[in-house]
A and B are shown apart, each in its own frame.
Chain A
């Protein structure tokens, strides 16, 4: 049953990706990328990674879609057809894909108890969380306490993203923007 669910989800994922490639109407592309994120979230659920699935559904399908729509409203609604066929992008994609597949050959098999993810600190986290914090969600314990430094870095990155967007496309420099408009 799980195999069937996984195969169905992956099949739908590939179909969505191909549909995104074929589409020229960007509104449909944005909607389909939301579908793609939701399918990814479902795959994470089947892997029992509910916290990741939650994030993917909220950020990938929710916020990203809105931001992409916002970007689209600022630019164009339709993708331009490429003028001529160029082999370089195809080569880059094929080469990257080949390297990625080659990389997976070295990975531990799915669900293996001997994979580095299981043998390193994860077992300790699982063991110690009930006594250290007494909370049931180990993911939260790892994110905010054992790996608090990393999470602090992540939050600073999110903050930096806002600073970057605001300094690039306005929000902070609104007055200057208006002044320039007036000069024109």
Chain B
């Protein structure tokens, strides 16, 4: 898409705000609609948009596939690990009260932020990984074919 000047300029303008919005949805999920899942998808969309307009090789330089795969596993690990931590602290699995026994409310909020982060990381990485998998096998398409 080298000659689509408008698309390239608009994409450059949009990628930053999309990432910022994803972070907002991620960390504001307790107060407004949204949460890890939606934030992860939006975060991935920024990379996919970038990849569609600037080419797969460019976006792979920004977010290499091996790193994407590691992040997909890391999110699950954070989620499951939060549960393990609460077991270590002598409570039930995924009972966030244990994270801060003096103030269970704070413990709950901390636990929710931690697992939402795990959800967001996994979802974003998985979406990017699936996009890479599909796009890597795509032959280059001429603009006239669409």
Contacts and interface: CB of A to CB of B under 8 A. Distances in A.
B35 A140 contact: yes
A58 B38 contact: yes
Interface of B: 25, 29-38, 41-42, 44-45, 48, 52, 65, 69, 72-73, 75-76, 79-80, 83, 93-94, 96, 104-105, 108-109, 111-112, 115-116, 118-119, 122-123, 125-127, 129-139, 141, 145-146
Interface residues of A, number: 47
Contact of B138 (A73, A149, A154): A73
B133 A54 contact: no
A145 B108 contact: yes
Nearest to A163: B72
Interface of A: 27, 50-51, 53-55, 58-59, 62-63, 66-67, 70-71, 73-74, 77, 131-137, 139-141, 143-145, 148-149, 151-152, 154-156, 158-159, 161-162, 165-166, 169-172
A90 B108 CA distance: 51
A158 B131 CA distance: 14
Interface of B is mostly: helix
B19 to A, nearest CB: 14
Given A73-B141, A151-B115, A162 B108 contact: no
B56 to A, nearest CB: 11
Contact of B134 (A58, A74, A144, A161): A74
B44 A140 contact: no
Given A51-B35, A63-B44, A135-B31, A144 B111 contact: yes
A148 B83 contact: yes
Contact of B129 (A51, A71, A134, A171): A171
B134 A59 contact: no
A158 B123 contact: yes
Contacts of A55: 37-38, 41
A158 B132 contact: no
11 contacts: A58-B42, A70-B131, A133-B30, A133-B108, A144-B36, A144-B115, A144-B119, A152-B94, A170-B133, A170-B137, A171-B136
